[in-house]
Each structure stands twice: as C-alpha cells, then as structure tokens.
Amino acid sequence: MCIISHKYKFIFIRVRKTASTSMHVALSKFCGPLDIIAHIGDKDQLESKPEQNNWKYLPSRNAVFYNHIPAFRIREMIAEQDKDIWDNYFKFCFERNPWDKVISQYYFQYQTSTYKLSRRGITEPQDGMSLNKFIMHGRLHHFSEWRVYTEEDKNDDTIIVDKVFKYEEMNEAFNFLKEKLNLPCNIMMPEKRFKGWTRKEHGHYRDILTNEERKRIADVFHKEIKEFKYEY
C-alpha cells in the first residue's frame, strides 16, 4: 500500500508488521480528492478515506498503486506523470525489530491456531506449524522488507526513501512528521489497532525465542539489523 498526498507533499510506503494498516487509516484522514490511497485489500479499507481514491490508474498504461507496492515501483510509476513528485515529496516508511517482527508475522499467519508461547518456543498449533518450524524451516526471507525501501537491483542496497522510522519510536516519528509536513493536527492512530487481535501473547521476544531461533533471524535480517542498529 502507499499514500501519496499532493496537499502535504508526502509519500507513505507500507512495510509489513509495522502497524501499517492503522497508519494508512491515520494518514488517509489528511488526504483530499486528488490524493492517491492504494487499496488495502480487506475490510480495514472501510476505515480509510476517501474510498473512491483506493485505485488510481495511470493514463499511459494499465498500472495501479497496489497493496504492498515497493518504493522503486512507485518511483517508476510517478515518473510517467511527473518526476518532480518523487524528487520533492517526503518519502517515508517504518521498520521493526526483526526478532519481534517475526513473532508478529507468525501470529498473523496462524491466528486461528491454539498455542502458548514460552522460553522453549511454542507448542504445536492445530495446523502443525510451530514457531520453531516457521523460523528454522520456513521461507523466512520472504518477510524481509529490505527491498520495499531500497533499490530494485539486488546488488544495490541504497535506501531510496527519505526516512525509515523505527516502529519502536513511533510517537517521536509522529511529532517529526507533523512539523515536517505542516500537518494541521497530530497524527492519531485508530483507538484499536488493525490486526492487533491476531497476537494473543505479547511477551518479550527474548522470553520466547531460543538461541538457535535468534541466530536464524539475525542471519536472514542482517541488513536491517546493521542499518538500523537493532540489538537483541
């Protein structure tokens, strides 16, 4: 998902498991009839506005600002209309501590299962996918969002947005954005976080992950950990 606000000259790019749906709803309140609000793809879209702007097709080709669109694709699509938009608008997203992010992703995918977290990991849920299996034998690399805010070329790790805020420092980020974008009021997240209900347990990841799991996540998300100085 993305939001492109012409009035306040910003581009918000979604990163999974960083409260991006709630952020989408909060930022959409500042949008007008000419702004672009990419479709979320689920019932949460009903909370954002203006609904008629969920899909914006470009006149030159059958293209759309789709859900989970990466920054380099937004840049490419904008260039067809007005390259100055990408160059001059404030482009931002959020990233999250990978160890916490992986646990959140697990809950989101297996939200209907019955399980309990502990220092030793997780008991087998009904579908047989334990947290350990999810981390050690699953396709964990698919949940890295590094390419969402960097160059398309996998050999180029240049961050192409103006700012990647930390999920853990959201309040500070909101204060910065209000001043930077000259927003008329504070950014107010929905009272109830979207998709927050999927995570039943909110224990600290150090009390949940084994040493083996910790190392596996560190290996897969090594670029994010190094760039944003995340520590276990």
Asked if residues 24 and 51 have their Cβ atoms less than 8 Å apart, the reply is: no
Asked if residues 205 and 231 have their Cβ atoms less than 8 Å apart, the reply is: no
Among 86-90, 108-112, 147-151, 195-199, name the one with the lowest average pLDDT: 195-199
How far apart CA 224 and CA 40 sit, in angstroms, is 25
Q: Which residue has the tokens 């909101």?
A: 174
CA 27 to chain centre: 14
Q: Is the dihedral of CA 155, 80, 89, 71 positive or negative?
A: negative
- Give per-residue pLDDT as tens, 172-221: 999 999 999 999 999 998 876 555 445 555 688 999 999 999 999 999 99
Asked if residues 168 and 104 have their Cβ atoms less than 8 Å apart, the reply is: no
Q: Which residue has the tokens 């100085």?
A: 229
Structure token pair of residue 40: 């979320």
Q: What was the pLDDT predicted at 215?
A: 98
Domain spans, the chain: 2-96+145-181, 98-142+196-228
- Give residue 78's identity as a one-letter amino acid code: I
| Listed residue (146, 147, 196, 167) closest to 96, CA to CA | 167
- Give per-residue pLDDT as tens, 121-161: 444 454 557 889 999 987 899 999 999 999 999 899 999 99
